[in-house]
Structure 1
């Protein structure tokens, strides 16, 4: 050994258990950082791919731009690549049958194909999905919608040739060409006339996959796609352009500058989320694919970007504090054990700087071992997790692939190294400050207060006796040791509450709105009434788990001013403009009923109130759905209560249809956040009142139900259901049904997979917290072996020593729980407020997490005493008194 620092390696080898424990702390910390980074990148990758599939892989769309401007956009210096789409024309598949028109007076006069020409980039950007076949490669090839095939006189197959008479849709009464709003092509006129212009023959090379979010017009207007290379563009023909910028920085500013340079006249800018929304185009309409941009942190809403950055930065800082706390405690305990050793080094000439160097050198050596292993274990842990997800073969996350990012691995390593050195600085300074004399007496940092300065607790003494008094005063007579141990536990509790809150926030923010049902049967005939015999037949099918009659009517409601959520009112003042009495009149509300069995099933959804059918029938009782999910003008997703009704409140409503203009009073019997078949918050800014079928009939004067929701038994084959529904449609064209079995199964699988990932992550947090507490508490007790021997020597029994240790642990747990829960809850709230710029949800006190944290802290501290007490039982009093810690 040439210098004092040469002792570092010898100590690490001589204290293998302590060294391994420190390395384990480093490994767990780096594993946590690596896991979080990897799962974050992987989930982001999945979201990006899913968003591209749902909304397209482009940044900006330019709708209805003339051909002469297309090359200018394509060659703009900001633009990386473009996809181009244009309408080739409409083609009539068949005229709508008279029987269908009789059953549905609003039926379109024809079943149309809407033929559009895509270039290769447009097909790629708009993520054209096929059921079978391939994409078209020239203008003589076409892909058809799978749902359109049954309307062809002879159903086309792959390789077949189809002749289409392409032309225009006109309004018969005026002769004007039918105006089409956007690429979605919604709507028709009842007196619509088709005017053919030219014929084309196409070879069918593929069939388009039916979209999950089919629109009300999709039964009559079906998409068809052919190929166009757009090498020669007609100057006066309108096109749709989909643009990917070279850089996503300042997308909005670049787009506006580009469009300004084209001098196209009136341009309408909008941050639309999807292609098929009803776009009223003026001259040219600009839409930003904000759903995709926000995943890259490049949303056109700066508030969204900064909110996400700040929130994620806060999460990383908390993780850093957690890792520093774990490693700091390990190093600090190591220093406490070796105070006398450092004193000997000081006596033989070691300077404070050399002592600090020894500790920091230990930190470096342990980092070189622990950090690479931590990165490896974090990666392997993610490998195992993703492998298990793939075995489950679940929905949304089934194709979630593991993304190993070198920057993430390097960041985890650097943050781990930074954590280790930040953790070691304090103990290193502490070791160098101890005087040789104090260190040799083993007082240093464990110097205790005089017994007279430690106050007695009469409450503890009366409750637990003299042993309780010893336990209480032991905690307070060494403030340094108490703070170290308590700090370790507090940090662990904070981390658990914060990350449990994050899990709940993510689950709430990612809930997708929509109804959870297997099949929906509706009747669009003139009567708008389904015969009870149909419902009874469906209810008796073995494959049907539950079926609900669905009554629905639009109602006008007077909303008292003091019952409107003020925050919602500030965002939507235009909704509350017509005053009537002491409130505002709102027209777009709904009175609904799922029948009496549906009302019973809604009990599980209640937030407050009760469901008493007889009482509701007497008092016109309703269940009010208040919570919605909305996008603000700043791009913020907001989950908010529209109103603040309470059980017992009265509301005046009347139906919009049927001439029932007289207001009737309904009584709030309960509050729900979701309707019976919902899997999330509604995105419609309406207030829904659920009631019994009798109250519905009394208020509306109508007892007809035009729809039935069916929940299939997952353990039974569904063939009997689909056979019966198909037979109804063939027998009566007024019937129409929707099959959502596959979609519902996928949604449930998504929830399971997401829970596995989130709670697996929580499991890692709990493991680190558990080891942190056990390490700190148990080491604290082992360091006091001599002290316990003294207590035994003066007459304290082994049982009383054990009781004292247990009480100390409980007191530690109680103190740490109060402080940790308070700080953890405050931090949980703060982080959710940081996210509020992008996604705002109602925050509630996390009582469930608080309860687990409290119980976990007490149980963990008790478990931490088991091994030290076992060791103390084996130690002879004389040997313990001679021992140096």
Structure 2
């Protein structure tokens, strides 16, 4: 080891406080990078596990294939394993009491399917022959007393209905069809092609997530062998290393084999980083690219500040090396050597700290995930790749951070070090201040501003630290909000905000049923609504621009455009709650024929492969809506009472869906609805009730006993969407909290170190008569100058970065760019509070020092 490196190590030991501060900053940076990598890997792993539990561990499904096609799939190069599931049909059982699950649903699976679909045995063993069965635990609520070893005979058949809508499929109902009932609520389906088969019960298994709650039968599983002749089956292909070519390959293979129905496990593929849409890939990669650059820039700034302050503090030491013959290269390498020592110590500690910190965070988060019903939990997942990435990025940031300080160190001469000319500029122009500063704020403010101008490098380093912190916080906040908003837009068409849906053509029966359910202990919310479908005639200026561009409009002979409108009346209590939640004025219906217009919609533009959020109709408060009723059989129209727009909103009440492009949803009071209905010639009223419940299955049973109306149980669909939003929210707030802590550490480190290096300056000011009160006032103004300067540069730069992130989202989504003013207000307040607290904290370390101690202060 050469003498310069030995002196560098000695200097690090002698200046323990400064060395510890630098090590701490580097540890924080490495921990941040490791934490982000670990969060990303662990979060992706969670989503994969949840997708597998929901749908099974497969990638491509080929429906209704034959034995010959099975052989071809097994020989395909992409097939790692092939699961087969055969739908043997439904069987009626006298012991079944449920009116919404009146069947036993028999399915056959091969050995791979039992593994890939993670069938969890509670008792017994898996079936090994086609005449053996295992029974789902969902059957426990029924009066079926099957035991292991029992022989049962099931007459299985296909579900058939005579409803016209099922004619294209020969009247056959699949497992995806809920129970078919007529208008009176009676069962409107039968079983055909019935075959009797004897089975032996060999076990019981835990009800899986892919046994949907709304399916009309309790699942039992048997065994099939792909080498045997059997009915057409569904095959589920698992691919070892899937990539985007999986879609093209599956299309080509299905065409070659004559398979007409191909489906993909989109959820699992999406969480594996594979989507069928280039636009979504481009959006996610672009957003991640922008945010990674911001995080690395923040890390560089954090470590750069530490080394810049270190070089400033070591200027005399470097000048001493120059005086004894040290070359520029030796002085430059001394800074690189210091960075290497700091890195060797800090990066391993940072990696461990990041992993431990995220592990503790997961321990705190998992109970929250469990409380919202998420079956899987975040498990700490650390890969060699994430550790390697952390080491490389940390090394890169340390190198970049030390480069400019090293160049500066190489240029320091002995005379410069003695005169401190690198840090302090005494030219008159450079420290000149405006007369208004003293007049408005006093001599203390002028002194503070002059101090900043004299110590420009430290001043710039501190302001840069604040700017980076501002950009980090706002960019990451906007990034995570964009993720959440993009998911909500993508899922809004399928979003379900209730558990149970009941339809009836009789408004009175629905109202009576609602009153009965209000006293139910497990019911948390009930909403009833009446709907009618009408038309609106609009001028071109009122039509959504996207509809005009697409050419999908319906233009009348008189030049007006026909819109399809759904007018909805909600029960009084639910309407009041909706008005409050949507922040609609209470007096919106003070006049007759008032209407709330849902003027914002989200739809998927298939031609552009993107999701669009836009205005459904261009209208304003107090505009009139001309409603027209059309008899589609005779094409005759009739004008109905005119509505007045008294409120506009983008919020939907429970049970309502987004309209599609070219349509609009309108909400009115019950009195207005009746007035329109009384003028109508057609019976176009639909009556629905939506229910939220703590126990949807029990509530469904109660409803079926009170009414014979059709009940649609969508609990699984609703909870899946809510769970995903909750997980994204946890990820969002955790990530923002992490960045906030990093920013705080950055600011405190920079300001406290800068103040510590100015002890001599403070002692000099006190020696010429500056009182403690004036001294505090001077420092307060310095803090204000720091904050104002950082905000002047940080906020525009943050908005630019946020817009760059927004632009990346527009490859797959279309919505307007909005500046997060609440976040910006929080940042403005936070900057001044943090800077002020950092100054006060730093000054507490100098207030007890005497003037003499300050003047003779040496680095420690």
TM-score in terms of structure 2 length: 0.86
Q: Residue in 2 aligned with 1:310? A: 286
Structure 1 window deviating more from structure 2 (866-875 vs 526-535): it is 526-535
**Closer/same/farther in 2, CA of residues 527 and 879 from structure 1, 3 Å limit:** closer
Q: Residue in 2 aligned with 1:287? A: 263
Other structure's SS at 1:874 match: coil
Q: Residue in 2 aligned with 1:24? A: 24
Deviation at 1:843, TM superposition (A): 3.6
- Distance in 2 of aligned mates of 1:54 and 1:3: 64
Residue of 530, 538, 556 corresponding to 1:551? 530
**Closer/same/farther in 2, CA of residues 672 and 8 from structure 1, 3 Å limit:** same
Spell out the pairing of 1:845-864 with structure 2 (5 A cutoff): 845-864=819-838
**Closer/same/farther in 2, CA of residues 295 and 602 from structure 1, 3 Å limit:** same
Give CA-to-partner distance per residue, 1:540-559, whole Å, 9 cap, x none.
Answer: 56776654332233333445
- Distance in 2 of aligned mates of 1:215 and 1:552: 27
Structure 1 window deviating more from structure 2 (168-177 vs 205-214): it is 168-177
**Structure 2 residue 71 is the aligned partner of structure 1 residue 71:** yes
- Distance in 1 of aligned mates of 2:551 and 2:105: 39
Q: Which runs of 5+ in 1 are unaligned?
A: 101-106, 265-282
Other structure's SS at 2:598 match: strand
| Superposed CA RMSD | 4.0
Q: Residue in 2 aligned with 1:231? A: 227
Q: Which runs of 5+ in 2 are unaligned?
A: 183-187
Structure 1 window deviating more from structure 2 (645-654 vs 46-55): it is 645-654
> Is contact 2:362-2:379 (8 Å) kept?
yes
Deviation at 1:79, TM superposition (A): 2.2
Q: Residue in 2 aligned with 1:535? A: 514
Other structure's SS at 1:687 match: strand
Q: Residue in 2 aligned with 1:668? A: 645
Q: Residue in 1 aligned with 2:239? A: 245
**Closer/same/farther in 2, CA of residues 522 and 96 from structure 1, 3 Å limit:** farther
Spell out the pairing of 1:437-516 with structure 2 (5 A cutoff): 437-443=415-421, 445-511=422-488, 514-516=495-497
> Is contact 1:90-1:115 (8 Å) kept?
yes
Other structure's SS at 2:530 match: strand
**Structure 2 residue 313 is the aligned partner of structure 1 residue 337:** yes
Q: Residue in 1 aligned with 2:176? A: 184
**Closer/same/farther in 2, CA of residues 801 and 139 from structure 1, 3 Å limit:** same
- Distance in 2 of aligned mates of 1:554 and 1:293: 39
**Closer/same/farther in 2, CA of residues 427 and 171 from structure 1, 3 Å limit:** closer
Other structure's SS at 1:550 match: strand
Give CA-to-partner distance per residue, 1:784-819, whole Å, 9 cap, x none.
Answer: 333333333444333222211210111110110121
Give CA-to-partner distance per residue, 1:669-717, whole Å, 9 cap, x none.
Answer: 2233332337x985977632222122222223489884444556x8xxx
Residue of 545, 550, 553 corresponding to 1:566? 545
- Distance in 2 of aligned mates of 1:521 and 1:172: 23
Other structure's SS at 2:198 match: strand
- Distance in 2 of aligned mates of 1:133 and 1:632: 49
**Closer/same/farther in 2, CA of residues 80 and 2 from structure 1, 3 Å limit:** closer
> Is contact 2:332-2:409 (8 Å) kept?
yes
**Closer/same/farther in 2, CA of residues 667 and 213 from structure 1, 3 Å limit:** farther
**Structure 2 residue 352 is the aligned partner of structure 1 residue 356:** no
- Distance in 2 of aligned mates of 1:20 and 1:601: 56
**Closer/same/farther in 2, CA of residues 2 and 96 from structure 1, 3 Å limit:** closer
**Structure 2 residue 200 is the aligned partner of structure 1 residue 203:** yes
- Distance in 1 of aligned mates of 2:625 and 2:128: 61
Spell out the pairing of 1:49-128 with structure 2 (5 A cutoff): 49-91=49-91, 115-125=106-116
Q: Residue in 2 aligned with 1:402? A: 380
**Closer/same/farther in 2, CA of residues 301 and 452 from structure 1, 3 Å limit:** closer
Structure 1 window deviating more from structure 2 (48-57 vs 432-441): it is 48-57
Residue of 484, 494, 502 corresponding to 1:522? 502
- Distance in 1 of aligned mates of 2:808 and 2:779: 42
Deviation at 1:417, TM superposition (A): 1.8
Residue of 588, 603, 625 corresponding to 2:579? 603
Deviation at 1:352, TM superposition (A): 0.9
Q: Residue in 2 aligned with 1:269? A: none
**Structure 2 residue 808 is the aligned partner of structure 1 residue 844:** no
Structure 1 window deviating more from structure 2 (363-372 vs 757-766): it is 757-766
Q: Residue in 2 aligned with 1:772? A: 746
Q: Residue in 1 aligned with 2:185? A: none
Spell out the pairing of 1:871-882 with structure 2 (5 A cutoff): 871-882=845-856
Aligned length: 835
Deviation at 1:567, TM superposition (A): 4.6
Deviation at 1:853, TM superposition (A): 1.0
Q: Residue in 2 aligned with 1:280? A: none
Other structure's SS at 1:590 match: strand
Q: Residue in 2 aligned with 1:254? A: 249
**Closer/same/farther in 2, CA of residues 68 and 128 from structure 1, 3 Å limit:** same
- Distance in 1 of aligned mates of 2:378 and 2:291: 23
Other structure's SS at 1:21 match: helix
Deviation at 1:624, TM superposition (A): 1.6
- Distance in 2 of aligned mates of 1:121 and 1:559: 58
**Closer/same/farther in 2, CA of residues 321 and 710 from structure 1, 3 Å limit:** same
Give CA-to-partner distance per residue, 1:519-571, whole Å, 9 cap, x none.
Answer: 647354x646426454344435677665433223333344554344435765x
Other structure's SS at 2:286 match: helix
- Distance in 2 of aligned mates of 1:802 and 1:253: 70
- Distance in 1 of aligned mates of 2:720 and 2:69: 43
- Distance in 2 of aligned mates of 1:763 and 1:207: 42
TM-score in terms of structure 1 length: 0.84
Deviation at 1:859, TM superposition (A): 1.0
**Structure 2 residue 36 is the aligned partner of structure 1 residue 44:** no
**Closer/same/farther in 2, CA of residues 735 and 613 from structure 1, 3 Å limit:** farther
Other structure's SS at 2:626 match: strand
**Closer/same/farther in 2, CA of residues 396 and 641 from structure 1, 3 Å limit:** farther
- Distance in 2 of aligned mates of 1:683 and 1:764: 39
- Distance in 2 of aligned mates of 1:16 and 1:186: 72
Deviation at 1:224, TM superposition (A): 5.3
Q: Residue in 2 aligned with 1:785? A: 759
